[in-house]
Structure formats: C-alpha cells, structure tokens
Amino acid sequence: MRTGPSWTEITEGFADLRALLAFRQQGLAPAQRKRLRIAGLVLAGLTLVVIVAPAYVRTALPARSTGHLVGVLPSFYLGFAVLAVLGAVTSGGGRELVPREQAVAFPVSAVTEHFGALLLAPLNIAWLLQAWAILGTTGWVLGPTNLAGSVLPIIVWIVIATALGQLVGWIVEGVRRGVHGILVTRMLAVGAVAGLATLVLTGRFAPLLDRSPTVRLYLAALDARVGAWGAWALAVLELLVLAGFLVAAGMLPARWALARPQREELRLEGEHHEAVPNPRSDLIAMIRIDRASIWRSVPLRRGVLVLALMPGAVALAGNLHWSLVTILPGLVASGGALLFGVNAWCLDGRGALWRESLPAAPGIAYAAKVVVLLEVLLAAGGGTILLASFRAGVPTGAELASVLAATVVVALQVTAAALRWSVRSPYAVDLRSARATPAPPVVMAGYSARLAVGTTTTGLLFSATALAPNGAIAVLVAIPFVCWSTYRLLRTGRDWADPVVRSRVVAVVAS
Amino acid sequence: MWDEGLARIEVSALRVRFGAVEAVRGIDVTAYGGRGTALLGRNGAGKSTTMRVLAGVIPPTEGKVIVDGIDVRLDPLAAKRATGYCPDVGGLVPRATPWEHLQLAARLRRLSGWELRAQDLLERFDLGGASHRVTGGFSHGMGRRFSVVLAAFHEPGVLLLDEPFDGVDPLGVEATQHVIAEAKARGAAVLVSTHLRDLAIEACEDALVLRGGTAVAALDAATLGGEAGARAYRALLD
C-alpha cells in the first residue's frame, strides 16, 4: 500500500542515504579511500581558490572588462540553472548512488533516490566548472570587499539550480515513462529547440536574457559588497527558503516517476531486429554486436544524441567563432567516452565470458571496441561542428584545418585514455537504466576531470592554430598528438593481448 | 565423427590463482570422447574456474591443460575452436539477438551453411519465436537454454556446460539432455557442472567431485544414484 509523503519518510530517506554511502565506501580499497579523501580536499581547496583569487586579481584588469562581465553575469547564473536542468533530464532524473542491479535486494525509497541524485550532481565536471565559473566571475566583478557575503547568495543559487534541475528531471522522467511518454518528451525537446532558435533568429534572445530574474542574485551579491546588510539578509533568506522548497518538492515527482514502469527500457528489451546478411569479416562481426549494444541501450542512445546536438545548439545560440568551435569536439569526445568508453567491455555485459570463448585473435575484439568508440566520438563531434557552422561564417583555411584537426586529435586522445581505463579498471554494469553510468560516480568524476583538462587544453591549442596564416600549422601540431595517441592505443592493445589481463576484465564485467 | 574413448580433456596439476586466492589447487581431470563427465561439488569448489580454463577464458597459473590434443596455453585459439562453452553466469550479450550471437559464432568458427542447424537447435529449445529478440529481455531459463544452443551449435569435440540445468523447465532439461546425448554419440567429450545430482547421473557416465579447489573423488556417476549415492556424495562434500 502506498502512503503519502511524511516527515518520517524524509528522515528515513536520509538514514538510508547514509547507509548507501557507507555501502559504497566499504567497496573501496584503503588506497582508493585515501585517494578519495585527497581528491575531496583538492576540490575544496580549488573551490576556495576559485572564489578568492579572482577577487584579488581584479584590480589588475581594465575596468571595461569588468563592466562587460557585470552585463552577462545574470545570464551566467541562468545558464547554470539550464545546465543543471539538462543534466538531470538527460540522465533520467539524475545518477544512481547504487546501480539498480546491486540495489535490487534493498528497499531504496524514492526519497533516498532523490537525495542521492542531488548529492551526486556535483560529481560532474560540467557542473563543477560552471559552478566555479559563476563563483569566480562574481568574485572578479565584486572584488574582495565582504567577499564571503557576496558569494553566499551565489552558493545558495547553485543549490537552488541543482534542486530545480532535479525537480524538472524527475517530472520529465515521469512523463517519459508514460504511455506516449517518448513522443511527448521528444515533442517537448523539439519545441524547446525551435523556441530557442526562434528567439535567436529574431534577435529577442539577448533582450530576454537582460530581463532574467537572476539579476536579483547579482543585486543581492552587490548588497553585501556595499554593506546593505538588511536587503542582503532578506534576499539570502528568500533564496534559502526557495532552496529548501525545491529540495522537498523534488520528492513528489521522484515518487511519481520511479513508481512508473520503464517503458522505453522494456520496449527495447522486447524489440525484434530482423536478421541482416552474414558479416564479411571477423572485425565487422564484432563491430556489429558492439554497435547493437550502443544503439539498443537507453542511456547510450540518448547520450549520443544529446552530445551530438546540445553543444552544437549552444554554439548556434552563442554565435561562436570558428576559433572557439575548436573547443567543442573535446567536450563532445569527453562526454562520449563517459557514456560507455571508459568501461568499454561493459557493452558485452554477462556475454563477455561467452565472447571470450570464441576463437578470435584478441586484437580483433580490441579493434572493434576502438572502432565503435571512435565512430561515436567522430559522429557526435561532426554533428556539433555542423550545427556550429551555421552561424560561424565561412572559415579560413587555418580555421577549417584547426577544427578538423582538433576533432580527430581529441577523438583519438579520448579513445586512447578510455580504452586504457577500460582495461585497467573494469566494472560490472548493465547500462540498462537511463540513469546508469559505466563506472561508480566518484570514479566517473575523476575520469571526467581528467578528460576535460586534456581535451580543453588540446582545444585551446587548436584555437591558437586557427589564428595562423594557413592550415599547415594545425596539421603539423596534430601529427605528434596523433602519433602519441596511436602509440597509447597500441600499448593498451598489447596489454589486452595478455590472457591474464583479458580474463580479469571479462570476469569482472560478466560478474 | 570423432574416435570414441580417446581422452579429449587431460588436465594435470591445474592451479589457478586470482591474486592471493587460489581457486583451483592441483586438479587432475581426464574426460573421454563419447562420455559425459560430471563436475560436482559445493560452491567455490573450483568447478566453474576449471571450466573457464578449459574454454580458454582464463589462463592456467600452473599445470597442463590439453583439450582435444591442444595445449590451451600454447594454442588458445585452436583450443577455443575445439570447445563449445556454456558459462555459469549469463553468457549472452544483453542487447544482441540470438541470431546475431549465432552469426558471430558462425563467422569466428568459420561455419558455412549453418542456418538450418541454428534454426533446428532454436526450435528444439523452444526459442524459435525469440530468435530476433534481444536477449536482455529473456527470462533466466531462456538465457540458460540459449547458452546451451551456443555451446553445441558448432558440434564441438569438447562440450563444456556449466550449470546448464539451472532454472530451466523440464522441456528445456530434456532438450539439453538430448544435446548432450547427441554430442556423446558423435564422440565428443562432455563436461557438465551442476548441483543437480540426478540430472548429472542421467547425463554422465563419470563423475569428479571437487572440494576446496582439489579433486576428492573420481567415480562412476551411477554410484552416486539412490539413497546410498546421496549419502556418499554428501560425505564427500564435507
């Protein structure tokens, strides 16, 4: 018998959350726990630096730059909320603290799921970078005077945006699980994109941003700087009440959504696929199975589509110049690898043991994983560039060469890193649920940070080559990257050829 | 058709270690063509690990493992060609259909004109209607039955069935027993790991009881039948 929401449910939800966190922690080796503690301290330290440092370097910058930032700051705040909403919507209501197949024996309530998803939201490099960006920019604009007071409303806003994202995420997930849910959510997505495109093309996008309610956030931060503590306290109180309300409100759609059947997942599991002609080579046979594993998985299919469209849509809305488009393939490639590439053999799931018992050279199975990951990254990156190209104008030779080189280089770079991690640290996951990830949340956060740093640096390098007089520079810069990534791929391939390594990977992913 | 009576599996002093854990501690196994050998024992006795070594999925840490005259350490690909393996867990790629599994197996095992045999096996295991459905939606029993189909598909000289009867309905059990009988009639060696003693006795002529990673008894499977056999088997487990 279902009961209505109650205070007990909330307190039990917190207690269950603690138990699940302890369960997760027990699964870590002592060295991993130590690394986790260090990573936590580093993140806290970095956050502090990101808040404080810009406030003090501000004086060295021209006032005009600061003025520009004041104008766009409310849009940055709004952008963070949009990102939080998109993150929760695309991950089917947020990430799972414990994968469904492991949690099946425990009565994990929807409230616990909701709190868990909220807790895991920051373990995402896009969330972290955006949060750091708005905190740092606020400090930069307002300076060191009463900095803690200036930043506090923004910190509460980060909580609000995350809770709002979770609330919307659960609602969309609940709708998606309805009878015609897929159709409705697709229509909503198309409507949102069409609406955004209309606003951009009719020139009403920027004026709309100027009227964003987040202007009040900036004013609250400014109140602290000028010492208007009464207004500041009132604004912070309002924000805190809103945060509490949104966190609590998220429990209702969470209960509703999680009680509904997972129609899309069930439909895919019951789907028939007519036979295609027999494969012409061993590699094609392997690739076919891996492709099927990607396109018939709800989180992977959705993730690839979002990756192909979302950064391109942002580029389209932001009217990005070609020299900045070079950064996008890196973001897309990192996101693509985080869908399944960092644990590539999880595509085989429990079939890994059978597949390993087939008479095929280890290099063929390895090459198949490399090919499918590369093609996903290149296709998603290509889609992004295509969308970005609509408003970026006609590229020069150097710009075109730089964008193409950046796409190829980051795809190889990310594939090499992802395959290395796949062989070193496999995990047993089924990637069935829309909320599933290929590795535990903390591990995913580490992977995403490393990928983001590597690919953004590479993207910035090609931003510089885009300003060169011709495209040859970009090609020359790309060559050592391609060689290094190829070497890394071959080295991992050699590791995979070792039967001891291979048996460990297949035994783990099939368990 | 192979020669009946030849030793198709020869395992001597097999040891398998996973880090600090030694899963198999010096097992000797001999299985003959045309005969079934039951691997019996409690959980963790080393049955599945031994099967995985024979299938070429796990390399032996120590010892000699010869499958159909092929040393699995020296020529693992040839050993994999000679064996058909039904793993104890899952064994199916969750988002591929049975037909896609069969296409992959046929390609890698260099089979031609395999479609009729595949259809026949699928029908016998009552999976004909599900041959183009993704296996992720299969029930446990359906998955087990299809794993047996995959193992027997290429008519291997060595058939390795790890828990083939687990959660399978009586008709599925019957079909599996039929496949085992056919394999033995062809002269193949069949190794069956199961906790279901009666089915093991029905399928196999020989039995090897494992305990704690070592073999504690090699006997005629028939001697494990009846009340006396049950008591003897129970005594071997402790």
Which DSSP string corresponds to B69-97? TEETTT-HHHHHHHEEEE-SS--S-TTS-
Phi, psi (rounded to 5 degrees) for B17: -115, 140
- The verdict on a CB contact (< 8 Å) between B95 and A272 is no
> B81 and A359 in contact by Cβ < 8 A?
yes
β-strands B206-211, B36-41 pairing: parallel
Partners of B191 in beta bridges? B37, B160
| B78: closest chain A residue by CA | A359
Whether the pLDDT of residue B162 is over 60: the answer is yes
For B76, name the nearest residue in chain A, comparing CA atoms only: A359
CA neighbours within 13 Å on the CB side: how many for B67?
Answer: 29
User: What residues in B contact A297, CB-CB < 8 Å?
Assistant: 95
Pairing state between β B206-211 and B189-193: unpaired
Q: From CA B218, how far away is CA B210, in angstroms rounded?
A: 9
Per-residue pLDDT in tens (0 to 9) along chain A, 511 residues = 555 566 777 788 888 888 888 887 777 778 888 888 888 898 889 899 989 988 887 665 565 566 667 778 888 899 899 989 988 988 888 888 777 767 777 778 888 989 999 998 888 878 888 899 899 989 888 888 899 999 999 999 999 999 999 999 999 999 999 888 889 988 998 898 888 888 877 888 888 888 888 899 999 999 999 999 999 999 999 999 999 999 999 999 999 999 888 888 888 778 889 889 999 999 999 999 999 999 988 888 888 888 878 788 777 777 788 888 898 899 899 989 999 999 999 999 999 999 999 999 999 999 999 999 999 999 999 988 988 888 778 889 999 999 999 999 999 999 999 999 999 999 998 887 778 889 988 888 889 889 988 998 999 999 999 998 888 999 999 999 999 999 999 999 999 999 999 999 999 999 8
Q: Could you give the maximum distance between any two Cα atoms of chain A, in Å?
A: 75
Torsion sign, CA atoms A498, A501, A504, A509: negative
Q: Indicate the residue of B52, B94, B147 with minimum beta-carbon distance to A430.
A: B94
Secondary structure (DSSP) of A97-145: SS-HHHHTTS---HHHHHHHHHHHTTSSHHHHHHHHHHHHHHHHHH-ST
Out of B56, B58, B100, the one facing A292 most closely (by C-beta) is B100
For A466, other C-beta atoms within 10 Å of its C-beta total 26
- The two tokens of residue B234 are 């129970």
Separation between Cα atoms, residue A424 and residue A496, nearest integer Å? 9
Q: Which SS3 state, helix, strand or coil, does residue A358 take? A: coil
* Half-sphere exposure at residue B46, Cβ-oriented, CA atoms within 13 angstroms: 28
pLDDT tens for each residue of B136-148: 989 999 999 999 9
Instruction: Pick left, alpha or beta for residue A153 (phi over 0 → left; psi -120 to 50 → alpha; otherwise beta).
Output: alpha
Give the Cα separation of B42 and A54 in Å (integer).
Answer: 65
Q: Does the beta carbon of A324 lie under 8 angstroms from any beta carbon of chain B?
A: no
**Structure tokens that stand for B208 in this block:** 């090897």
Helices (H) and strands (E) in chain A, counts: 23, 0
- Tell me how far apart the alpha carbons of residues A178 and B70 are, in angstroms, rounded to a whole number: 56
Contacts of B137 (CB under 8 A, 6+ apart): A266, A269, A270
Chain B interface test: which of A354, A356, A504 (most B C-beta within 10 Å)? A354
Choosing among B49, B95, B154, B160, which should be mutated to test the A contact, i.e. which has the most A CBs within 10 A? B95
Mean pLDDT of B29-43: 93
Q: Is B67 left (phi over 0), alpha (psi -120 to 50) or beta?
A: beta
What is residue B55's predicted lDDT score, i.e. its pLDDT? 94
SS3 (DSSP) at A177: coil
B206-211 sheet: strands from edge to edge:
B83-86, B158-162, B189-193, B36-41, B206-211, B214-220
Q: What residues of chain B lie within 8 A of the CB of A356, using their CB?
A: 56-57
- Find the CB nearest B80 among A274, A357, A506: A357
d(CA A504, CA A499): 8
| pLDDT higher than 50, residue B108 | yes
Q: Using the structure block, give the residue that is written with the tokens 């193992």.
A: B151
Query: Of A351, A503, A511, which has the smallest distance from its Cβ to B94's Cβ?
Result: A351
Six token digits for residue B192: 């069956």
Domains assigned to chain B: 7-237 (3.40.50.300)
| Closest Cα in chain A to B81 | A359
Query: pTM of the full predicted structure?
Result: 0.86
pLDDT average, residue stretch B34-54: 93
Of B31, B68, B18, B48, nearest to B180 by C-alpha is B31
Say if B55 is an interface residue toward chain A (CB within 8 Å). yes
- Alpha-carbon gap: A384 to the closest alpha carbon of chain B (Å): 28
- What are the residue ranges spanned by the domains of chain A? 51-269, 282-511
Residues 123-142 of chain B with CB under 8 A from chain A are 132-137
Q: How confident is the model at residue B202 (pLDDT cuts 50, 70, 90)?
A: very high
User: Using the beta-carbon criterion (under 8 Å), do A275 and B103 form an inter-chain contact?
Assistant: yes
CB contact under 8 A, A353 and B52: yes
For A511, nearest residue in chain B (alpha carbons)? B89
Query: Does residue B194 sit at the A interface (CB-CB below 8 Å)?
Result: no
Decide if A167 contacts A246 (C-beta within 8 A).
yes
| A65 CB within 8 Å of a chain B CB | no
User: Would the CB atoms of A430 and B134 count as touching at under 8 Å?
Assistant: no
State which H helix or E strand residue B161 sits in. Answer: strand B158-162
Alpha-helix runs per DSSP H in A229-361: 229-249, 251-259, 263-269, 282-295, 298-318, 322-325, 328-339, 352-356
Q: HEC states along B51-76?
A: HHHHCCCCCCCEEEEEECCEECCCCH
End-to-end C-alpha distance for chain A, whole angstroms:
34
Strand, helix or coil at B98? helix
* 3-state SS class at B39: strand
Residues of B in contact with A298 (CB under 8 A): none
Pick A293's closest partner by Cβ from B93, B109, B147.
Answer: B93
Q: Which residues of A touch B90 (CB under 8 A)?
A: 349-351, 353-354, 510
Instruction: For chain B, say whether A389 makes contact (Cβ under 8 Å).
Output: no
State the smallest CA–CA distance between residue B185 and chain A in angstroms: 24
Is B1 a residue whose pLDDT tops 50?
Answer: no
Please list every residue in chain B whose beta carbon sits closer than 8 Å to the beta carbon of residue A288. Answer: 100, 103-104
Task: Name, in order, each residue with C-beta under 8 angstroms of A337's C-beta and a sequence gap of 6 or more.
Answer: A373, A377, A414, A415, A417, A418, A447, A451
Could A354 and B76 be called an inter-chain contact, meaning their C-beta atoms sit closer than 8 Å?
Answer: no
Residue pointed to by tokens 């000289």: B157
In terms of C-beta density within 10 A (0-12 exposed, 13-18 middle, 19 or more buried), how is residue A327 classed?
A: buried
Q: What is the pLDDT of residue A302?
A: 83
Cα A199 to Cα A180: distance, rounded to the nearest angstrom? 28
A59 three-state secondary structure: helix
Return the residue of B nearest to A346 by Cα: B93
- Kindly state the helix (H) or strand (E) to which residue B206 belongs, with its residue range: strand B206-211
Rounded Cα distance, A372 and A292, in Å: 10
Q: Which chain A residues are Cβ-neighbours of B101 within 8 angstroms?
A: 351, 354
pLDDT at A62: 60
Whether B95 sits inside 8 A of A511 (CB atoms) is no
Closest CA to B34 of B206, B195, B174: B206
